[in-house]
Structure 1
Amino acid sequence: MKRFLKSTVAGVALAALMSSLPVVAAETGLDPNAKQGGGIVITYKDDVATLDPAIGYDWQNWSMIKSLFDGLMDYEPGTTNLRPGLAESYEASADGMTYVFKLRQGVKFHNGRVMTAEDVKYSLDRVTNPKTQSPGAGFFGSIKGYDAISSGSAETLAGVTVVDPQTVKIELSRPDATFLHVMALNFASVVAKEAVDAAGADFGRKPVGTGAFKLAEWTLGQRVVFERNKDFWRPGLPYLDQITFEIGQEPIVALLRLQKGEVDVPGDGIPPAKFAEVMADPAQKARVIEGGQLHTGYITMNVTIAPFDKVEVRQAVNMAINKKRITQIINNRAVPANQPLPPSMPGYDKSYEGYAFDQAKAKELLASAGLKDGFETELFVMNTDPNPRIAQAIQQDLAAIGIKASIQSLAQANVIAAGGEKDQAPMIWSGGMAWIADFPDPSNFYGPILGCAGAVQGGWNWSWYCNEDLDKLAAQADSMADPAKAAERNALWSQIYGKVMADAPWVPVFNEQRFTMKSERMGGADALYVDPVSIPVNYDYVYVTDVQ
């Protein structure tokens, strides 16, 4: 799931919400050491699920989509600092309820057509229309008319208006402290209507955007190839001529190929079984890049499937899991978690103790729920190491309190699909897909994965937990757009997550640090390889140093 890796306060964005002055795009300078040309090889074990920006929402396809498409807003590379993207500038009303975006002139889609404000409106209408089944639709809930389009009573967002071919106005139904961040998400990417119409349900395999790269080849189960968009609207970018994503590569094999110079970035990261060996070898360690991330790995329990519809059962599972033992499986590259928010996120409650590891108490809770002899269930897990091993540890902990969980070890896309079906997955270990914040704000750990908006077909709220009272509190918190109310807003989010943990739809397991590697020929700042937006790599700005 996604995404931003570093904890920063988006003060600039919040201040912009309160300003009526136009904010103009500030271009980031090009790397003076960069060379144009060449290609790189990225490996993945599993095939790509989709390249449709309205649908794609996993670790693997996020950066790929980011390089094919653009939104009105963007981030400075390697940071969480907002800047205009397809918008040349924007102006916000003093009350934070209206935004007017001026579009860049002459931006072309990959099919050669010039983008206009009509495309922006179409794209926002499309992502929020329930027919699209976008897992990101709920992010746009503050736009006027969202309730009508999401209920099916309207086909377009009333709050999005085309002023002229280069100007789009967006009106909100309430102030939203996260709005500019939402406009920088992949879900807000601008797509070409004619391309969507022509491809239909296959648009995810025939993407047409305005991004730095365009799709050149997709051979299912083998490779995906991007080529440089020579008409890209940022002059001088991208540096690379081609990116080849090789599919079906086991992570250990990918590491060996990296050592031989055949691979430039192992997309699935450093295999846990090889981590100690890599870090002990100075030559390999020199190619390792470490980055912090706003991450939580967790177990979901589907509250609509018995017996997880009983809070005592969910609380018992929270008490049954030995989190310290699980962190050892990943070479202690994480710390045990006790709540949905990671420690570096605003709103994290340092005073909250969580559920103690107490299997005797867990058995008592099961007995109070009428399940003293336990029960049988299924635990879904992504089949890339170390996730099956973590699932086995979870299985053992559950067995200790009488819960017999059979492990369903599947490809990432299959686990995601099962989670998005209301009655398919009683439990899911989120590893390999675990939540990394889309933007550095506590709201992002609620709406898509714990709020009612995410508990829909194809959504990412795999616990199917929906507490309408908490949804109202979440909306109240997000309406606090005034930076002077930041402390009050964070306190409210702490209260919300405390109530979530009382209902226990999740077992937060750990907060993980991120490690990746690159080949010796790769150039560009380290931050581009642990980019907080373009996970895992900001392909638009990296380059190779061996171009002649």
Structure 2
Amino acid sequence: MRRRTYTLLSFALCVLALLVAACGGNPTTPDNQTSGDKAPDNKQIYIYPESGVEDIATLDPALVNDTASADSVGQLFASLITLNDDLKIVGDLAQDWSVGQDGVTWTFKLRDGLKYNNGKPITAADIAYSMDRYLQPATKAPQASSLDMIKGYDDLMKGKIKSIIGVGIMAPDPRTVVIVTSQDVSAYFLSNIAGHGGTVPLEKDLVEKYGNRWTEHLDEGNISGPWLLHKYNRKVDIQFVPNPNYYGPKPQLKKLVIAFYKDRGVDYRAYQSGQLHTATVPAPNIAKAREQKNEFRQVLNQVISYYSMNYLVKPFDNIKIRQAFALAINKDALVHNVYRDNGIPTFHLVPQRNPGYNPDLTGPAGVTSTKGDPQKAKQLLEEGMKEAGYTRDTFPQISMTVSKISKDIDNEIAAVQQMWKDVLGIEVKLNVVDFNKLVADLPSMINNSKGPQMWRLAWSAGTPDPRYWTTFLWAKGSTSNYENYGQNSSTTAKEQQANQEAMAKADVNRNSEERLKQYHQIEQQLVNDVVWIPIYQPYSAVLFKPCVKGMPKEATGLVPYSHDWSQVYISNSGSCPNVSKYQ
């Protein structure tokens, strides 16, 4: 399963939910595809660190909004269609699909013989139920608007209908799912639902029996993915074993362990001491890690790390003040000094190696250097303060909400604070919260003039289509528009709304060349409006023990495509962690 998720990166985690588009630069990829005799079954255990969180937020596919949760959810559940290692759309539970001549009626045929872990058949009605549940306002799915193209969505949100089943979703027989869209969105529809949590089949009787606690009873059913939940030790680890009823090729491993490490960097030390099969490398250790040539790999992530502002909270209702904050940051210095060049400084919302990447994009106010422009920043701040009627004495206190989960992130935030102070003369205070709380609070920022002023996060769209780096986040009515773009009364609100209209047109344009040009213009306007302050596109610098074989080159910890688990195994060659505690 692929996920659109928020994450908080220092050295990027690019795993299941953080889709890797391609290797970047001149990455080093260890040859762990072959060689070495296979270890016995009691050693076929793979331990992966979930770094930066003390636990996952949810196992409910409808509620996933963060990378850590997506990693575990992706092991347990299959979806209608997904993306393979080459980013091609392939069937997951569906064996084939087609769209009618009307361009709005999509028919998906399920594979024969699909079963849950309890042996019961997976049916089209289960997928229809799950999609309807995902969209029900009572579910509070944080990314419900990702399915806003389905017929009946608006009426469901407004309470005009009680269910979307029979309107936009049908199950005419046990193996057929029919989805009807409100207009022709064939330009992006399949990319939109690939790996989507809303298309995970669920057994209605079990979900309704246990309500919000249904994920505590996965031993009774609902699992459709390659792994079963074996043991969940909260704030310690989650252990998985192969699902014998999984439709696809079965894992060779006998157990998968996702261990929690609240503080990033601790997992790296655990790797070095023989406790883990893989770990991300903190920036200060990258040069040394490169020396471990048969263990080190580096991959350019489809991730943007950014700072963001609430357009409804002063002083960020003023575009010039937002631009001043953006241009006061020297991104080159941050990436070089903090991250040891393990990333690319950027203005972009759509990352490099994405089909929608715009090499001609400029920063706010036409600035072309990622080093920023201190003089321009000072000028814009003074102009913005004058427009808003501020003096230095009356300028609002700025507070930024962050989750400080690694030394790298601590250093980045401190450096950014200092740049704002040095260039703008503004001291930004920090509100430090748990990462899961920060992500959980995001929906409360919508239309909230009393919400946080600023925050720091990172975004991975989980699909290469540029819509999910633009429209999905900031379209009119988006449930991910936490910045309140276009839904404010600022002097540039009309321009923002015009850009939202442009998004709607680009989304449905079936001319791919024209469509990409439209997204380039949309992204440039978003950057000018400072919807985010993008900082950098990170690489994942990771280590794998030599005993790990068959891990795809795109993987940086967990496999990006569930079928890949059938290729991963532990060999007798090379060093390997002690797994006796999990045997």
On the 8 A contact 2:171/2:178 being kept in 1, the answer is: yes
Q: Secondary structure at the match of 1:449?
A: helix
Distance in 2 (alpha carbons) for counterparts of 1:233 and 1:536:
11
The residue identity in structure 2 corresponding to 1:409 is V
Cα shift at 1:404? 1.8
- Residue 54 of structure 1, aligned match among 23, 37, 62: 62
Partner of 2:484: 464
Distance in 2 (alpha carbons) for counterparts of 1:111 and 1:452:
42
Q: 1:528 to 1:111 in 2, by over 3 A?
A: farther
Q: Secondary structure at the match of 2:555?
A: helix
Q: 1:42 to 1:525 in 2, by over 3 A?
A: closer
Partner of 1:226: 240
1:450 corresponds to 2:474 = yes
State which drifts further: 328-337 or 347-356. Answer: 347-356
1:266-306 deviations in whole A, cap 9, x for unaligned?
Answer: 2xx21223222212x3xx33212222222221110011111
1:441 corresponds to 2:462 = no
Matches within 5 A, 1:390-409: 390-400=412-422, 401-409=424-432
Give aligned pairs, total.
Answer: 510
State which drifts further: 463-472 or 106-115. Answer: 463-472
Q: 1:448 to 1:364 in 2, by over 3 A?
A: same
On the 8 A contact 1:530/1:536 being kept in 2, the answer is: no
TM-score by length of 1: 0.86
Matches within 5 A, 1:60-79: 60-76=68-84, 78-79=85-86
Partner of 2:188: 178
Q: Secondary structure at the match of 1:513?
A: strand
On the 8 A contact 1:346/1:442 being kept in 2, the answer is: yes
Cα shift at 1:205? 5.0
The residue identity in structure 1 corresponding to 2:522 is I
Partner of 2:114: 107
The residue identity in structure 1 corresponding to 2:531 is P
On the 8 A contact 1:116/1:166 being kept in 2, the answer is: yes
Q: 1:451 to 1:394 in 2, by over 3 A?
A: farther
Partner of 1:295: 303
Distance in 1 (alpha carbons) for counterparts of 2:190 and 2:39:
33
1:6 corresponds to 2:15 = no
Matches within 5 A, 1:406-421: 406-421=429-444
On the 8 A contact 2:34/2:549 being kept in 1, the answer is: no
Q: Secondary structure at the match of 2:120?
A: coil
Distance in 1 (alpha carbons) for counterparts of 2:40 and 2:81:
26
Q: 1:225 to 1:525 in 2, by over 3 A?
A: closer
Distance in 2 (alpha carbons) for counterparts of 1:436 and 1:536:
18
1:198 corresponds to 2:209 = yes
Distance in 2 (alpha carbons) for counterparts of 1:486 and 1:36:
51
1:349-395 deviations in whole A, cap 9, x for unaligned?
Answer: 33332133223332332333333424422222232222121111111
Partner of 1:492: 518
Distance in 1 (alpha carbons) for counterparts of 2:555 and 2:356:
27
The residue identity in structure 2 corresponding to 1:257 is A
Cα shift at 1:504? 1.6
Distance in 2 (alpha carbons) for counterparts of 1:404 and 1:153:
48
Partner of 1:163: 172
Matches within 5 A, 1:185-264: 185-187=195-197, 188-203=199-214, 206=217, 208-234=222-248, 236-248=249-261, 250-264=263-277
1:286 corresponds to 2:287 = no
On the 8 A contact 1:135/1:448 being kept in 2, the answer is: no
Q: 1:75 to 1:339 in 2, by over 3 A?
A: closer
Q: Secondary structure at the match of 2:106?
A: strand
On the 8 A contact 1:419/1:428 being kept in 2, the answer is: no
Partner of 2:489: none
Cα shift at 1:438? 1.4
Q: 1:159 to 1:414 in 2, by over 3 A?
A: same
1:212-255 deviations in whole A, cap 9, x for unaligned?
Answer: 11212222211211121111111x41222211222236443322
On the 8 A contact 1:63/1:537 being kept in 2, the answer is: no
State which drifts further: 239-248 or 463-472. Answer: 463-472
Distance in 2 (alpha carbons) for counterparts of 1:540 and 1:425:
45
Q: Secondary structure at the match of 1:420?
A: helix
1:80-128 deviations in whole A, cap 9, x for unaligned?
Answer: 1111111122122245322111112221223332111111101111112
- Residue 381 of structure 1, aligned match among 385, 394, 402: 402
Partner of 1:508: 534
Q: 1:104 to 1:39 in 2, by over 3 A?
A: same
1:2-25 deviations in whole A, cap 9, x for unaligned?
Answer: 5322169xxxxxxxxxxxxxxxxx
On the 8 A contact 2:22/2:554 being kept in 1, the answer is: no
Cα shift at 1:36? 8.9
Structure 1: tracts of 5 or more residues without a match: 9-29
The residue identity in structure 1 corresponding to 2:459 is W
Matches within 5 A, 1:345-356: 345-355=354-364, 356=367
Q: 1:196 to 1:107 in 2, by over 3 A?
A: same
Distance in 2 (alpha carbons) for counterparts of 1:222 and 1:287:
26
On the 8 A contact 2:126/2:204 being kept in 1, the answer is: yes
Q: 1:451 to 1:517 in 2, by over 3 A?
A: farther
Q: 1:226 to 1:79 in 2, by over 3 A?
A: same
Distance in 2 (alpha carbons) for counterparts of 1:108 and 1:537:
17
Partner of 1:479: 508
1:447-499 deviations in whole A, cap 9, x for unaligned?
Answer: 34333444x4xx4x332323443333222212123xxx111000111111122
Q: 1:131 to 1:64 in 2, by over 3 A?
A: same
1:364 corresponds to 2:379 = yes
Q: 1:538 to 1:135 in 2, by over 3 A?
A: farther
Q: 1:362 to 1:251 in 2, by over 3 A?
A: closer
Distance in 1 (alpha carbons) for counterparts of 2:107 and 2:557:
29
1:523 corresponds to 2:553 = no
The residue identity in structure 2 corresponding to 1:6 is A
1:403-429 deviations in whole A, cap 9, x for unaligned?
Answer: 221123333212212333224421112
Partner of 1:89: 96
Q: 1:94 to 1:337 in 2, by over 3 A?
A: same
Distance in 2 (alpha carbons) for counterparts of 1:406 and 1:43:
31
Distance in 2 (alpha carbons) for counterparts of 1:42 and 1:53:
21
- Residue 39 of structure 1, aligned match among 41, 45, 52: 45
State which drifts further: 293-302 or 467-476. Answer: 467-476
Cα shift at 1:538? 5.8
Partner of 1:426: 453
Structure 2: tracts of 5 or more residues without a match: 1-5, 7-16, 24-32, 487-495, 574-582
Q: Secondary structure at the match of 2:553?
A: helix
Q: Secondary structure at the match of 2:252?
A: coil
On the 8 A contact 1:531/1:537 being kept in 2, the answer is: no
The residue identity in structure 2 corresponding to 1:497 is E
Q: Secondary structure at the match of 1:428?
A: strand
State which drifts further: 247-256 or 257-266. Answer: 247-256
The residue identity in structure 2 corresponding to 1:200 is G
Q: 1:114 to 1:270 in 2, by over 3 A?
A: same
Distance in 2 (alpha carbons) for counterparts of 1:150 and 1:291:
40
